[in-house]
Amino acid sequence: MDNRANILHQALKLFATRGYDAVGVQEICDTAEITKPTLYHYFGSKRGLMEALVNEGCAVFMTELASTIAYSGDLPLNLQKVVSAFFGFATREPTLYRLLLALWFSPPSNEAFGVVAALHEKQEKMVVEMFARASDDHGNMRGRERAYAATFIGMINTYIGLALNNYLELKEAIIYQAVKQFSYGIYS
């Protein structure tokens, strides 16, 4: 048995369903059928466990996202690729994404917030950069790159949140709808 992977797996389930603060280290150990020193041997601290969880779980998606933001001269196509990458990740890893969403809206002073804050900063920087390059073709966008990026990511997360609560499915049609809807806000 791979204890490390098992700890990560059980911790993710517990954190996602009950919250980072509400789950104690002891409970994680009991669920994974190991003891506390074992957990601390692998991760050093509860926060270290959380960091491993988030970073290793998002690594593939982050490189995937990086490749979608290269501006191609066709902004709608870029937007569509970004939305598709987010939706795909949320579909593949719904439990992890639920945890990320909860932490994103948790108070900044919360220990677990710091872990995902860096992640979201990277995401935002990527999307900001995409809009910055697009504003070479669309001059009226210049100066609003940051607001656009935040609104765009916010809308994506709204759709994902609804999907996680079974209000809708993240099918192809929703991708187009999201892009169109957002684009309308820009070109208005």
Partner DNA sequence: CAATTATTATACCGATTGGTATAATAGAAC
Partner DNA sequence: GTTCTATTATACCAATCGGTATAATAATTG
Residue numbers of the site for DNA (CB under 7 A)?
A: 3, 23-27, 34-38, 40-41, 44-47
User: What are the angstrom distances between the C-alpha of 84 and each of 8, 67, 114?
Assistant: 27, 12, 26
Q: Which does 73 bind (CB under 5 to 8 A by kind): DNA, a second copy, none?
A: none
Quick check: 90 and 168 in contact, CB under 8 A?
Answer: no
Q: 3-state class of 137 per DSSP?
A: coil
Q: Which does 25 bind (CB under 5 to 8 A by kind): a second copy, DNA, none?
A: DNA
Q: Which does 114 bind (CB under 5 to 8 A by kind): a second copy, DNA, none?
A: none
Quote the least distance from Cβ 13 to DNA, whole Å: 16
User: Binding pattern to a second copy, positions 120-139, x when CB under 8 A?
Assistant: --------------------
Compute the half-sphere exposure of residue 44: CA atoms within 13 Å on the CB side of its CA: 5
- The verdict on 118 binding a second copy (CB under 8 A) reads no
- When the beta carbons of 18 and 41 are compared against a second copy, the nearer one is 18
- When the beta carbons of 11 and 65 are compared against DNA, the nearer one is 11
Quick check: 18 and 4 in contact, CB under 8 A?
Answer: no
Q: Which does 154 bind (CB under 5 to 8 A by kind): a second copy, DNA, none?
A: a second copy
User: What are the angstrom distances between the C-alpha of 54 and each of 88, 96, 103, 181, 184?
Assistant: 17, 8, 11, 30, 33
Quick check: 131 and 145 in contact, CB under 8 A?
Answer: yes
Q: Is 126 left (phi over 0), alpha (psi -120 to 50) or beta?
A: alpha
- The verdict on 31 binding a second copy (CB under 8 A) reads no
Binding residues (CB under 8 A) for a second copy: these are 16-19, 21-22, 98, 101-102, 104-107, 109-110, 146-147, 150-151, 154-155, 157-159, 161-162, 165, 167-168, 177, 180-182, 184-185, 188
